[in-house]
Amino acid sequence: MSDTEGTNTYLLRLIYNLFSLEFKMTRYQFFEKITSDMDKVSLKKYSKNSSNNHWITPNKKTLKESEIYGERIDNNQLKQNIAKTIGFDPNLWNEKDALKQKEEITKAIEIFLDKENNMLKKLNLPSDKELKRDLNKEEKKLFQELKQGKAKTFKRITHDNMNLSQEMLIAMLHLAYEFGYYQHLVNYIFPQLKTSNQLKTEILFIYANALGSHQLKEYKEASLILERINTEDNLSYIDTQTAMTSNFLRHLIGDNISNLSEDELRDIIYSQSKNYKALFYKDKTHHYYPAINYGYMIAIAKQLYPKDKEFKKLNIHTIKKLSELSQKSIKEDNKKDNPIDNYYASMTEIEFSLIRNISVLGKLGKYLEEDKPNSNLISITLRQVIFFRDILRNSVEEVKFNIQRLNDVVSLMQDYITSN
């Protein structure tokens, strides 16, 4: 490691590289994502100006090593803006310890991404007024401190108050969830909760989402928590069980896809497709949520294992049938006065075409332009499409599926997210 690492430009490149793992984006889109309310002239300057280009990718032929790693970004306003947007201490720009820079910025970006990818935004979470209702005077003061969103405040209040009431712990749980402090939520808040039957389902949902986050990546544990949730509501049951299966799938495959043998991957796809299928055909609801997940498994199986006897009855026509049976639930959610339900219903129809290897770029572009869905919701779908693309692309040398078509969809979604 160079003695000159641990500088302004080194930190900016860390940020760029970490975001590049999640998003494919231009320099302009990168600066747009990591800044708040930055005017277009400035964004163009930082992304296009040749004198600033080597902040991210230096020309090693013309710059000395001390210049490559030692250059200081001269715009303090830009550095403050980036720190505020991502959520890290501005003093990190001046930190000389490269390892500390990497550790702190990785943690900050994981929290930033978890806020964007919050899978439970559709939960009807309580308002601040409802959370404060059962707190005493002193606890209400603590609540107001926590609302400032500082991680240090959560740690201080947790450590300094060993006998917090259940009402205060529940309020802290929701606030920690809101601000993306999942590690703190899992390590300190949740273990102290004695959940009542009324709160149990909602809190377990939050806990499972925290475990399945970018920060923790405890997918197996998340799936086991979701498996414990009991609900008499059929749609809630389908939601939880489908989320459980998806988390377990990420646990089984995760970042280790290149290390799995063909047989191991095949067994995972087979077992998880059976789980999604059972959920879909559980009753006459035929909800689109497990259907589209089952459809993804079928599409993967047909591309990777076309001659496998276990999958030979599954094909494009099976996916089409799933889409047809799901139409009732799709139409019901499209009619609801709820933009989140509307989004999932509309996007599922697009995904059904996508996994049948049908071009959806025009339809998707029109939907994004006209309906303008929340970019957080797009991030969730993007995660699924990237998983689908990568499992095909990384598992075999050649596939019949049009990978470029998937790349185009990923790029369109990423462009939408970074511009909204």
pLDDT tens, residue by residue, 232-287: 555 555 565 566 566 556 656 655 666 777 777 787 788 778 878 877 887 778 88
Alpha helices (runs of H) in 262-338, residue ranges in sequence order:
262-280, 288-304, 316-335
Tell me if 215 is assigned to some domain: no
Tell me: the pLDDT tens digits for 157-214? 888 876 889 899 989 998 988 888 888 888 888 888 875 554 567 787 788 778 877 7
Tell me if 50 is assigned to some domain: yes
Which amino acid, residue 123? L
Same domain, 96 and 148: no
SS3 199: helix
Six token digits for residue 352? 């059904």
Mean pLDDT, range 308-336, rounded to an integer: 85
Tell me: the pLDDT tens digits for 384-417? 888 888 888 766 556 677 888 899 999 999 888 8
Task: Work out the pLDDT band at 122, boundaries 50, 70, 90.
Answer: very low
Structural domain range at position 158: 128-193
Task: Work out the pLDDT band at 2, boundaries 50, 70, 90.
Answer: very low
Same domain, 181 and 283: no
Same domain, 99 and 149: no
pLDDT at 145 over 50: yes
- Which has the higher per-residue pLDDT, 296 or 77? 296
Tell me if 70 is assigned to some domain: yes
Same domain, 273 and 413: yes
Same domain, 185 and 267: no
Tell me if 234 is assigned to some domain: no
pLDDT at 141 over 90: yes
- Which has the higher per-residue pLDDT, 63 or 139? 139
Six token digits for residue 143? 């609540």
At residue 350, the pLDDT reads 95
On the CB side of 249, how many CA atoms lie within 13 Å of its CA?
23
pLDDT at 70 over 50: no
Same domain, 32 and 181: no
Domain boundary among 94, 116, 138: 116
Number of compact structural domains in the chain: 3
Tell me: the pLDDT tens digits for 12-59? 888 888 887 666 667 777 888 888 877 777 777 776 654 455 566 555
Mean pLDDT, range 132-141, rounded to an integer: 91
At residue 68, the pLDDT reads 44
Same domain, 156 and 85: no
> If DSSP states are collapsed to H, E and C, what string results for the chain?
CCCCCCCHHHHHHHHHHHHHCCCCCCHHHHHHHHCCCCCHHHHHHHHHCHHHHCCCCCCCCCCCHHHHHHCCCCCHHHHHHHHHHHCCCHHHHHCCCHHHHHHHHHHHHHHHHHHHCCCCCCCCCCCHHHHHCCCCHHHHHHHHHHCCCCHHHHHHHHHHCCCCCHHHHHHHHHHHHHHCCHHHHHHHHHHHCCCCHHHHHHHHHHHHHHHCCCCCCCHHHHHHHHHHCCCCCHHHHHHHHHHHHHHHHHHHHCCCHHHCCHHHHHHHHHHHHHHHHHHHCCCCCCCHHHHHHHHHHHHHHHHHCCCCCCCCCCCHHHHHHHHHHHHHHHHHHHHCCCHHHHHHHHHHHHHHHHCCCCCCHHHHHHHHHHHCCCHHHHHHHHHHHHHHHHHHHHHCCCCCCCHHHHHHHHHHHHHHHHCC
pLDDT at 324 over 60: yes
Tell me if 202 is assigned to some domain: no
Six token digits for residue 77? 């306003």
Tell me: the pLDDT tens digits for 331-381? 999 998 888 889 989 999 999 999 998 999 999 999 999 999 888 778 778
Same domain, 300 and 370: yes
Cα separation, 186 vs 154, whole angstroms: 13
Tell me if 222 is assigned to some domain: no
Tell me if 237 is assigned to some domain: no
Same domain, 173 and 104: no
Task: Work out the pLDDT band at 65, boundaries 50, 70, 90.
Answer: very low
Tell me if 235 is assigned to some domain: no
Same domain, 138 and 66: no
Same domain, 356 and 322: yes
- Candidates 231, 183, 383; CA nearest to 293 is 383
Same domain, 19 and 157: no
Domain boundary among 116, 148, 169: 116
Task: Work out the pLDDT band at 3, boundaries 50, 70, 90.
Answer: very low
Lowest-pLDDT range of 65-69, 114-118, 146-150: 65-69
Residues counted in the chain:
420
pLDDT at 64 over 50: no
This model's pTM is above 0.85: no
The answer to whether residues 301 and 311 touch, using CB atoms and an 8 Å cutoff, is yes
Contacts of 180 (CB under 8 A, 6+ apart): 111, 112, 114, 115, 118, 213, 215
